Structure 1
Amino acid sequence: MSGLSKYQFALALLFIAPALWSVNYLVARTAPGQVEPHTLALIRWLLASFLFGLGHWRAIRAARAEILRDWRHYLVLGALGMWICGAWVYIGGRTTTATNIALIYSMAPVLIFVASALWLKERVTWLQAVGVLLAFAGVLHVVLKGQWMHLADVQFVVGDLWIVGASLAWTAYSLLLKRWQSPLAVSPRLAVIALAGCVVLLPFALFEALTGAQAMPTLTGFGLSVAAALFPGYGAYLAFSVMQRELGAAKVSVVQYLGPIYAAVIAWLVLGEAIAMHHVVGLGLILPGIYLVSRRSPASGQQAA
C-alpha cells in the first residue's frame, strides 16, 4: 500500500472508529445486573487479545526477547488502556450520567493535543489548534443540547471520579503508545498489550467473583462482553493504533468528538429517538474542526504532525 493510500485509509478510520467505540455506550448501560465491571473487561480483552494475535503468533515469539525486556511498558499500557479505560468506565457509569461522561471525556483530546506538541514534539499549527477548539465547542453543544446556560447546572457525583481517572488514563495511553516504540506490528503489539491488561484485571475479576452481586456473568452479560471485545475492543483499538501510526497522536485525538454524534445516530436507528437541531449544529462545528486538525500541511504536502 502506498504512503498516500495509507494516509487516506487512516483518514477514513477517523470516521469508522467512533462507530465502533459507540457500542461501548450500549454495553455500559446494559451491563449492570448482567456482569461485573472487571469481569466484563477481562472477558473483553482476553477475546480481543486472541483476535489481535491471530496469524501473528510467530512474530510475537520471534520478538519475545524484546517483549520481556520492555515488559514494564506493556504492563503500563495494559493497565491504562484495558483496566482503567475499561472497568473504571463501567464502574463510573453505574452512578453518573451520560452527559457527565461525555463532558469529562471531551477534555482528553485537548490534553492529548497539547501534550503531543510539548512532549512528543509533533508539529502542530495554529489552524489545527482552531480545529480542536471548534470540535470541542461542537461536542459541548451536543452534550448540552444547545443550552449552554445549563453548563452551570451540571452536578458531579462520585462516579465522575472514575470517569476522570479513565479520561486521564486514555490521555496517557495515547501518548505512551506513540512514545514507546516496538519491534512488533500494530496487531501483534496490541495482542501483547491486551494480554498484559488481562494480567492486571485478573485479581480484580477474581475478587468480584468472590464478593460481587453477580458472581458469574449471565448469558446476556457474556454476550455483552463478546460485543465489547469485537467492536470497541478489537476493531476500535486496532483502528486507533493504525491512525496514530499514520497521522500522529494530536490528529487522532479529535476522533473522540464524533462519539456523541454517532450515539445520537444509533439512538435514532435503534431507539427511534429524533435527531435534534443541536446535533446538526454540533456536527457543523465538529466536521470542520476535524478537517483542520487532520489536513496535510500545504507547504510540504505532508501531514502536519
Structure 2
Amino acid sequence: MNGQAALAVLVGAALIGLAPIGVRLSDLPPVATNLWRFVFALPILALWAANDKRGAARDVRLLLIAGVFFALELSLWAASLTKTTVANATLLTNMTPIFAAVFGWLLLKERIAPGVLLGGAVALTGAVLLAIGRAPAAVAPTSADEGWIGDLMATGSAFGYAAYLLMLRAIGARVGVGGVMFWAGLSGVVVTFALALLLREPLLPHSLQGWLILIGLGVVVQVGGQGLIAYGVGRLPILISTVLLWMQPLAAAVLSWLIFGEALGPLALFGAALILAGLFVAQRARAGQPAKTQ
C-alpha cells in the first residue's frame, strides 16, 4: 500500500509539473487560468465523488476549508510566475515539505525518520542547485525589480499548500479521493472566481489553443495530478509525501527546457540528479519502516 501511495505521489508530482507551463502559455491571467482549471475538473470530480463508497458528509466543512487553502496557494503561485522565473517560483513553492514537517510533527505527532530527513535534505539541495543553475537562462515575464515580489508570493504559496496537504493527511483515511477532490475543488472555484473578479481579470480565452490549455490543466493536472497526490498523501506520513513532490520542479525544469528554451547547464543537471537521489533515499528509508494500516 505504501509503495502504491508513493508511486501515486511521484506520478502526480510529474503531472503537476505541467501546471507552470500551462499558466505561461494561457491566454488568461493566472487567477482566471486557475478558475477554469477548477471548473473543467469539477464535472469529472462530481462523478468520481458520486461513485465513491466512502462519503465525505461529516468532513465537508474541513474539505471546503482545505479547498480555500489550495485555491489561495494556486493563486499566489500562479501570480508569482508573472513576476519571477519558473525556476524560482517552482522552487520556493516546493518549500512545502519544510513547513509540512513542522506542522506534521506539532499537530499529527508524526515521527521523522533520519533517512527521510537525509533524503529530504539531499533533494532540497538539488532543488536549490537546479534553480541557481537555471537562473541565467530563465527569463522572467516581468522586470528583475519585481522578482522579489514573485519570490515572496511563491513562498506564501508553500504555506498554503502545506496546510492543504496536512488537512488531506488528517482526513484521507476516512474520505474517498473523489469526495476530497470534489469538495475542495468546489470551494476552489468560488475563491478563484471571486479573486478574478476582484483583480478584474478577463475570464474568456481568445483562441482554441487557449481553451485546450485550460481543459488540459483541469483534466490532466487537477484531476490526474492532484487526484494521485490526494490518494498518496492520505496514506503516507506528511513529510515523505511532500518530499516526493520534489519531482515537480524537476519535471517543470525539463518541460521549460523543451518549450521555453530555459536550458539546463551542468549545475542544474547536478541539482536534478540530487533531487532524484534524495527521493530515492527518502523512499528507501520509508520502505524500511513498519507499514501502518489505514
Is residue 21–residue 256 contact of structure 2 (8 Å, CA) maintained in 1?
no
Residue 192 of structure 2 is aligned with which of 172, 176, 201? 201
Aligned to 1:233: 222
CA distance in 2, matches of 1:123, 1:145: 34
Is residue 76–residue 154 contact of structure 2 (8 Å, CA) maintained in 1?
yes
CA distance in 2, matches of 1:298, 1:256: 17
Is residue 17–residue 252 contact of structure 2 (8 Å, CA) maintained in 1?
yes
In the TM superposition, what is the alpha-carbon distance from 1:37 to its structure 2 partner?
2.8
Aligned to 1:246: 235
Aligned to 1:50: 43
Residue 19 of structure 1 is aligned with which of 6, 14, 21? 14
Residue 258 of structure 1 is aligned with which of 247, 254, 257? 247
CA distance in 2, matches of 1:289, 1:47: 35
In the TM superposition, what is the alpha-carbon distance from 1:298 to its structure 2 partner?
7.3
Instruction: List per-residue Cα deviations over 1:14-54 (Å, max 9, x = no partner).
Output: 432232111111112123xx213332222211221222232
User: C-alpha root-mean-square deviation of aligned residues, in Å?
Assistant: 2.9
Letter in 1 for 2:221: P
Residues 58, 300 of structure 1: alpha-carbon distance in 2 compared, 3 angstrom cutoff = closer
CA distance in 2, matches of 1:251, 1:205: 34
Aligned to 1:284: 273
Residue 73 of structure 1 is aligned with which of 58, 62, 65? 62
Is residue 18–residue 236 contact of structure 1 (8 Å, CA) maintained in 2?
yes
Aligned to 2:283: 294
Number of corresponding residues:
283
Structure 2 residue runs without a partner (length 5+):
136-143
Is residue 134–residue 286 contact of structure 1 (8 Å, CA) maintained in 2?
yes
CA distance in 2, matches of 1:251, 1:53: 29
CA distance in 1, matches of 2:279, 2:25: 31
Residues 16, 298 of structure 1: alpha-carbon distance in 2 compared, 3 angstrom cutoff = closer
CA distance in 2, matches of 1:265, 1:89: 19
Is residue 240–residue 286 contact of structure 2 (8 Å, CA) maintained in 1?
no
Letter in 2 for 1:217: P
Answer with 1 or 2: which has the greater Rg. Answer: 1
* Percent of aligned pairs with the same amino acid: 23
Residue 30 of structure 1 is aligned with which of 20, 25, 29? 25
Aligned to 1:191: 182
Is residue 36–residue 217 contact of structure 1 (8 Å, CA) maintained in 2?
no
Is residue 49–residue 192 contact of structure 1 (8 Å, CA) maintained in 2?
no
TM-score normalised by L of structure 1: 0.80
Residue 32 of structure 2 is aligned with which of 39, 46, 56? 39
Structure 1 residue runs without a partner (length 5+):
1-5, 148-153
Residue correspondence of structure 1 range 152-171 to structure 2 within 5 A: 156-171=147-162
Structure 1, 120-129 or 290-299: larger mean CA deviation: 290-299
Residues 250, 58 of structure 1: alpha-carbon distance in 2 compared, 3 angstrom cutoff = same
Aligned to 1:176: 167
CA distance in 2, matches of 1:125, 1:85: 28
Residues 247, 295 of structure 1: alpha-carbon distance in 2 compared, 3 angstrom cutoff = farther
Instruction: List per-residue Cα deviations over 1:36-83 (Å, max 9, x = no partner).
Output: 3332222211221222232442558x94xx63x5443122111111x2
Structure 1 residue 134 corresponds to structure 2 residue 122: yes
Residues 53, 300 of structure 1: alpha-carbon distance in 2 compared, 3 angstrom cutoff = same
Residues 9, 196 of structure 1: alpha-carbon distance in 2 compared, 3 angstrom cutoff = same
TM-score normalised by L of structure 2: 0.83
